[in-house]
Amino acid sequence: MASKKERARQYYEQCQEAYGEFLTIPHAQSILNANGKEIDMPSPFYDAYNVPAELLRAEVRSDATSEGDRMGFEHKLVEMMHDKAPFDYEALNKKGGTKDKRKQKLYKIYFEVYYKQSSSSKPLFKQQITIGGTTYRWCSRKVLNQKIKLLESQRDAGIGIYEQRRNVIFSLRRSNMMSVHNLRPITATIKAFNKIEAVNTALSRFDNYIASINVLQDRGKQSITWASTRPKTKHKNTVVSMGVYLVKTSSEPIDILIENSRKALPTQNLTITDQPVAMKQLATLMRAFGDNSPAATRLAGVTRELAQAIDTDNPNLRQLSYWRCLEIVTAKTGDETRKEAEVVKIFQNYYPKRKYWKQMGDIIKNTRNSYVHRGVSKSGEELNEYYLNWSQQYAEVAFDIAYYLYKHKAIWNKYSDIDTFFDAYTKTDHELSLAGKFLYARTDSRRRDDRSKVE
């Protein structure tokens, strides 16, 4: 079996071969200006290079998981490709990579969000909000229409191209959406190296904001209602981004980008903006998304999974997201995972005196195993989708625990400490009480021993 360095060398040589082939084909808009030099960089869609590059990163820099670390590794690697440098494991493994000296540009991104709102409720945010360095402001309909006309004239895209792209995401007519929903344009302002990075970063940050709102508004509401003799899954998103984005700089023509997934419009009114406690929780969640502490990453991960569960009507995908909430918050340090029985036992102890709560966990574990082993629910089991209501309750407890850990991250500030937290969670109250007495006895004996030495 090849060693780690030998595997890395093989991937490096594969990257070199793919990079040489890449230079022989047209590659517009793939220039990387690093260290003051013009360097040709393959686009994210050039798989022949990017696949071995990703495998190489996993071998030499598996800890490069943040956006900045990954970018540093990618820049270092492509510079070595450009220079035709020999394989150097230590150079690739060195943190920081190549210092990026490209000049960022100021981008403005125009997009719309849908949400239902009563006339007396507060808006999604006031005049503007800043998330992770990106500023979001309400935009007038007049300004958005001007940008749409500019797109049609500069890009020769044809009249109605914005509307056509929007129809890929939503099947309803625009007039119907505007009459029923609060359709509001937003301008995001961000500095980035290119338009793709600008849109991805700005919308990822705003998606975290939307996910947090949807989760907080949805908590405690059951996924399944009964219609006639069959259960009906409710679509519960409160805020939805339209999925079509206009991006502009002062020096480049305006462009249009689009998401591929179809979405449904919200069915319930936005209400948490009128609830001071919920808005404080929202502020806490947004801080967690910008924090790299162990507790923050768990809270952010659980929030994203809950938001995905809210966003889908597919019971299998919803069940998977609910279960992922339990796994994310209880994950052990490193690659080690807890067995599903241990994961469920942790949450069963959240309400140890409720017999039905423990039994509910057993059903959730069996449901999870059913989905995992068969991939989908058995034929004829559609009526059992109401099991998802029970999985949802356990997933929301995972959110509550993650929220607690983040609010008290000064105590639970290490991965190993959080491991200990969940190891203890599987214990009964009696066992924890005995452990507390044991700790007191051991501490007291040491104290008495220290006093005897002084005397």
- Tell me the DSSP string of 101-124: -PPPEEEEEEEEEEEB--TTS--S
pLDDT-derived band of residue 72, with 50, 70 and 90 as boundaries?
Answer: confident
pLDDT-derived band of residue 34, with 50, 70 and 90 as boundaries?
Answer: very low
Record the pTM.
0.77
pLDDT digits (tens, 9 = 90+) for 298-357: 999 999 999 999 888 778 888 899 999 999 999 988 766 789 999 999 999 999 889 999
DSSP string, 346-357: HHHTTSTT-HHH
pLDDT of 379:
45
- End-to-end C-alpha distance for the chain, whole angstroms: 63
pLDDT digits (tens, 9 = 90+) for 150-201: 888 876 656 678 877 777 777 655 545 555 557 889 999 999 877 878 888 8
Distances (CA, A) of 398 to 6, 196, 212, 331, 405: 41, 34, 15, 12, 11
* Separation of alpha carbons 401 and 347, rounded Å: 10
In this structure, are residues 210 and 285 in contact, taking their beta carbons and an 8 Å threshold? no
φ, ψ at 184 (rounded to 5°): -120, 125
Nearest to residue 352, comparing CAs of 405, 257, 425?
425
For the chain, helix, strand, coil in percent to 5 are 55, 15, 30
Helix and strand counts by DSSP (H, E) for the chain = 16, 11
* Separation of alpha carbons 394 and 368, rounded Å: 12
Does position 98 have pLDDT exceeding 50, yes or no? no
Distance of CA 376 to the CA centre of its chain: 24
Q: Give percent of the chain with pLDDT exceeding 70.
A: 80
Token duo for residue 381: 């089991």
Angle at 241 between CA 239 and CA 246, to 5 degrees: 155
* Separation of alpha carbons 51 and 357, rounded Å: 45
Name the least confident of 243-247, 394-398, 419-423.
Answer: 243-247
Token duo for residue 378: 């058995």
pLDDT digits (tens, 9 = 90+) for 7-29: 999 999 999 999 999 988 875 44
pLDDT of 30:
46
Token duo for residue 330: 């209880």
**How would you classify the pairing of strands 244-248 and 134-138?**
unpaired
User: What mean pLDDT value characterizes the chain?
Assistant: 82
Strand, helix or coil for residue 136: strand
Beta bridge partners of 39: 32
